[in-house]
Each structure stands twice: as structure tokens, then as C-alpha cells.
Amino acid sequence: MRSVLKQIHHRRKDVLTGASTGQNCASVASNQEEAFVFATKAVTCAAVRPVSYGIHAAVNSVASSGAKAAGVMLTIFLPPEVREEEIRGMMQDAERTCEALGIEILGSHPTVTDAVHRPVLSVSGTGKVKKDSLQQAGNAKPGQEIVITKWVGLEATALLASEREQELKKRFPAELIETAEEFAGYLSAVKEASAAQECGGNAMYALSEGGVFAALWEMASAAGVGMDVDLKKIPIRQETVEICEYFGINPYQILSSGSMMIAADNGWALVRELEKSGIPAAVIGTFTSGNDRIIRNGGECRYLDKPQMDEIYKVMEQEIETCQS
């Protein structure tokens, strides 16, 4: 990502938030009081309900800026063997997801190409926000507490439970897998973004690809701060732990749409307010001065590494190799 951002030099005065490390989305002034917010997300590893996953990821990013999302635009690349009923089903799923979020499908462009062997999706979300309410991940300050909503790894857990359901049911009780599949119902973080803004959160970052470790690194980089995080305090469901252990992947480095990371002066007061709205949350550490990004695990202490490739792709690569052999 750093090599990509280094190529971007031209800037406009009306662009309030542009391409930079740690930013979930961009913002452009529409007048003296308001700004439009834009976010783009790609989904490359979900064959089951890929549009729903992408819409939630894009809208969560828009919400992390403090904006209210208005709609999404969809670009879908489909393999040649796709059937018409599959395309119809994807668009029906997209419409249901957007209706539940109160947003509109602003445009859709399906393309059939032999460049892909499964659906590949790009979702662009947009919304509006008052300039004085615009949130940026770079607003986090030393001394503020780090709050995480719901549980990390929800998206990847739901995706793996759906994509590899029969395989997983040979190892785990059906009830565990069915519960994991239901995590797809927790992928919207719009509600907590709104609640956090009302309750003193001054910087937010929507978890997505790379999981909580990537989000911690990106948010700290955007703000130019360090952090001190307790791994044991990061909220995670047992279903996620079990499924990740089965596939040999790190649950803190997997797709995690549905969780919002928030910087707050009083994290526990924010947690209590979020819980009043039915949103579980936890304080996992603090932002610090300097650049040290420390992860504590009991008596062990290590420095957070730069974001790596999302661990879920290791599982998907195994699937591709199996299909080709």
C-alpha cells in the first residue's frame, strides 16, 4: 500500500480527506457546511453472499467518518459459467441488504469474464456529513483508550462456516457451525458508529481486511501515535477461535467487518453507553506517544508488525489448489 500511496501527488483544495495511510474513506466538501464521503471495498473470497459482505464493509467505512450512508455502486466480475438465476439472486441479496440499511443501489455493472473463477466484487459507498462532525482515524490522541465493538473475526468466521460448512461439520457440532454462519447478521457497524459519535468517540476505524491487527496499525499510523494493547482483552467468540485453529490461521488477522475501533477519552463510559444500545464493547488498551505499538499477552510483550495479507486467503488458496489438482 505504501508504494501505491507514494505515487499520488496531485491534490485539490475541496478534498478534505484523501488517499493516505489509515484512512477508511475519502471526503470532499460539497459546500461550506457539508461534505460527501466515499469508500470502496473489494470482495474476492466469498462465493456465498459476496454482495452482502461488500456492502456492509463499504457502508461501515462511510459510517466511521461520522457520515450517514446514502447508497452504493456495485461492480461485479463473474465467471463465464455463471447462471442467470445466480446473478438475479446476488442482486436480490444486495437489495435486501440495502433495504435493511436504509440505503439505495445507485448503480450496478455486472461483467462476465474468464479472468475470474468465482465472483469478484467492488462496492463503492457514499454518504454525507456536516464538516464539523467529520471523523478521521488520525484524530486519535495519546492517552485515549481504544474501544472495540462486538467481536473480532465475525466476517471471516461467517464466511468460512458457509463456504466450508460440510467439511467443518465433520469436525465440529452442527450447532457451532450454524451459530458461526449467523455471524453474518452482525456485519453492520453503523449503529455503533452513530452511538460512539454521540458518546464522546472522536476517531473511528471500521475493521475489515487484515483484522484487528491491521486496524490497530492503520489507526495508529494515521494519527502518528503508538499503542499499548492487551491481547486477552480483545473480544472474540469461541466459534471464531475453534474455526481458525482448525484452518491454522490467526483470528486477529482475518476479515472483521462488523467491529468498529474507537478512540475515546473515557473508554469505559463509552462501553457502558454502547451496551445501553445493545452493542457489546470492550476497552483493549490505550494510544500512547511515540511510535511503539505494543501487544501484551500475559507476561509476554511484542511489537505489532505491519499489516500482512489477510489470513483467510491461505484457506482460499488451499481450496483453489485442491480444485486444480
Residue 324 has pLDDT above 50, yes or no: no
| Res 21: pLDDT | 67
Q: When comparing pLDDT for 262 and 18, which is higher?
A: 262
| Res 40: pLDDT | 92
**CA pseudo-torsion sign 217, 60, 6, 134:** negative
Task: Dump the DSSP string for 156-177.
Answer: HHHHHHHHTHHHHHTTS-HHHH
Residue 246 has pLDDT above 60, yes or no: yes
**Mean pLDDT for the chain overall:** 90
List the 281-288 sheet strands across, edge first: 201-206, 260-264, 145-149, 281-288, 226-230, 293-297, 300-303
Over range 301-317, report the average pLDDT. 89
Q: Cβ neighbours of residue 98 under 8 Å, at least 6 residues apart? A: 55, 71, 72, 104, 105
Over range 16-32, report the average pLDDT. 80
Domains and CATH numbers, the chain: 2-133 (3.30.1330.10), 137-324 (3.90.650.10)
Contact 212, 148 (CB under 8 A): yes
| Res 111: pLDDT | 92
Percent of the chain with pLDDT over 70: 92
Residue 3 has pLDDT above 90, yes or no: no
Q: By three-state DSSP, how is residue 9 classified?
A: coil
Residue 10 has pLDDT above 80, yes or no: no
Residue 322 has pLDDT above 50, yes or no: no
Q: Model confidence over 176-227: pLDDT tens digits? A: 999 999 999 999 999 999 888 888 778 999 999 999 999 999 999 999 999 9
Confidence grade of residue 4 (pLDDT, cut at 50, 70, 90): low
Over range 230-258, report the average pLDDT. 97
Over range 96-105, report the average pLDDT. 96
Over range 215-242, report the average pLDDT. 96
Which helix (DSSP H) or strand (DSSP E) does residue 263 occupy?
strand 260-264
pTM assigned to the model? 0.91
| Res 118: pLDDT | 84
Cell numbers representing residue 305 in the block: 508488525
Over range 79-106, report the average pLDDT. 94
| Res 48: pLDDT | 63
Q: Cβ neighbours of residue 91 under 8 Å, at least 6 residues apart? A: 51, 108
Q: Model confidence over 29-43: pLDDT tens digits? A: 988 899 999 999 988
| Res 325: pLDDT | 41
| Res 320: pLDDT | 46
Q: Model confidence over 140-177: pLDDT tens digits? A: 999 999 999 999 999 999 999 999 999 999 999 999 99
Q: By three-state DSSP, how is residue 40 classified?
A: strand
| Res 22: pLDDT | 66
Q: When comparing pLDDT for 243 and 43, which is higher?
A: 243
Confidence grade of residue 11 (pLDDT, cut at 50, 70, 90): confident
| Res 318: pLDDT | 64
